[in-house]
């Protein structure tokens, strides 16, 4: 066996040009497949990240009834101890309380129903990056008594920075809620629906307005990426009180998950077609190798080498080509995608405008998830193993007289 391996390795480099062509075909195959998968998964990551950072976060702790009936009566006691316990879980990067309800926002003459979000300003800014969306005035600070209005609502009510906003609503357990708030800033929310009817308050100001002292409607939890949410959900569930539950972004935004899965299914079909093309390309290279060496096989067999031993040597040659091609392909693919991970491809003007309307950055992003690379390597190597059957079959049917004449 050791001798067969040595012979196979030496045979590869007797004709360097042929070997390099064979290896290059596999390198290109791995590169093309990895590029496609990295770009596809990178776009999904960007969609999810933009979506969760607009509002939901990767996970939320809520009262068991809140998601079905979003009222203050379904809020929960947001203890500092629970927040600390969640923050100490591995892979949790941020925990922030919110209180969400509704109120009638008014100026002198005009009024409009609005969503009121009580937030922890510093933490919320790390989640949604609100401070960069402020068009005039300033962002909230901890303990601030003012309000941030979204641009569409401010224009409708004809309010500017420094003006007084009147809000009337219903507080916790039906308590009357009313108050005056100085407009501290006006922001442009990237989602039109939110831009036309949203008001931000400091969470303690909102709790005071709604008489919901110490309560939160949700506790938003962030992590480094969406691949962590399943294990985080299990860990958080272990420490939650019975009347609370934890929801992932998939639970809160099933439409986005369905969109990604349907697109991923289409991508897998395209990838399957790509693998068929790759397989035929690799088969063509192996076919060329066998046909070029038919006379060589005939001479070696005539000198006494058995077909079985010759088949084993050819098998090892194919394995070596597959291993070298896949290893080199994965390395080049990773370096290639690494560059585009840090330098995403900008989209054309029309596509860029469409992305920006939904609050998404107009770039084509790439993913560096390890499985995207070694998965392609394994699949392409498996294809090369299947193709290695052809030279073995050709040798088994070898006829010395015909081979010597070729």
- Rounded to the nearest integer, the mean pLDDT of the chain is 84
- Residue % of the chain over a pLDDT of 70: 94
Sign of CA dihedral 276, 281, 287, 289: negative
Mean per-residue pLDDT, 343-350: 79
Rounded distance, CA 204 to CA 73, Å? 17
Q: What's the distance, CA 302 to chain centroid?
A: 59
Q: What is the pLDDT of residues 230-284, one digit of tens each?
A: 889 999 999 998 889 999 988 888 888 888 888 888 878 888 887 887 788 777 7
| Lookup: tokens for 321 | 């080509």
Indicate the SS3 state at residue 113. Answer: strand
Tell me what pLDDT residue 387 has.
Answer: 81
Rounded distance, CA 150 to CA 195, Å? 5
pTM summary value: 0.75
Tell me what pLDDT residue 6 has.
Answer: 80
Pairing mode of beta strands 147-150, 176-187: parallel
């Amino acid at each position: 066996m050791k001798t067969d391996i040595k012979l196979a390795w030496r045979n590869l480099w007797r004709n360097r040009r042929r070997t390099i062509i064979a290896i290059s075909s596999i390198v290109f195959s791995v590169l093309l497949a990895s590029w496609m998968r990295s770009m596809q998964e990178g776009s999904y990551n960007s969609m999810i990240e933009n979506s969760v950072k607009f509002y939901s976060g990767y996970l939320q702790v809520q009262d068991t009834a809140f998601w079905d009936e979003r009222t203050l009566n379904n809020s929960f006691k947001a203890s500092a101890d629970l927040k600390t316990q969640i923050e100490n879980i591995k892979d949790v990067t941020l925990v922030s309380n919110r209180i969400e309800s509704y109120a009638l926002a008014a100026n002198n003459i005009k009024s409009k129903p609005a969503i009121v979000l009580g937030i922890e300003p510093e933490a919320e800014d790390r989640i949604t990056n609100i401070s960069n969306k402020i068009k005039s005035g300033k962002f909230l600070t901890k303990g601030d008594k003012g309000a941030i209005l979204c641009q569409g609502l401010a224009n409708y009510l004809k309010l500017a920075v420094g003006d007084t906003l009147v809000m009337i609503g219903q507080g916790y357990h039906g308590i009357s809620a009313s108050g005056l708030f100085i407009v501290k800033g006006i922001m442009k929310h990237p989602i039109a629906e939110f831009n036309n009817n949203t008001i931000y308050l400091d969470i303690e100001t909102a709790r005071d307005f709604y008489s919901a002292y110490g309560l939160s409607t949700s506790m938003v939890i962030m992590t480094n990426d969406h691949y962590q949410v399943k294990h985080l959900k299990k860990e958080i569930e272990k420490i939650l009180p019975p009347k609370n539950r934890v929801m992932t972004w998939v639970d809160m935004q099933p439409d986005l998950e369905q969109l990604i899965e349907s697109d991923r299914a289409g991508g897998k079909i395209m990838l399957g077609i790509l693998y068929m093309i790759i397989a035929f390309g690799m088969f063509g290279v192996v076919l060329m190798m066998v046909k070029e060496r038919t006379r060589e096989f005939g001479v070696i067999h005539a000198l006494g080498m058995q077909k079985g031993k010759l088949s084993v040597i050819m098998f090892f040659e194919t394995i070596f080509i597959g291993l070298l091609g896949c290893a080199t392909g994965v390395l080049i693919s990773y370096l290639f995608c690494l560059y585009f991970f840090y330098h995403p491809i900008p989209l054309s003007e029309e596509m860029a405008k469409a992305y920006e309307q939904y609050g998404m950055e107009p770039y084509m992003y790439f993913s560096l998830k390890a499985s995207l690379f070694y998965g392609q390597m394994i699949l392409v190597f498996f294809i090369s193993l299947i193709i290695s059957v052809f030279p073995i079959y050709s040798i088994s049917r070898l006829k010395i007289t015909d081979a010597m004449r070729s």
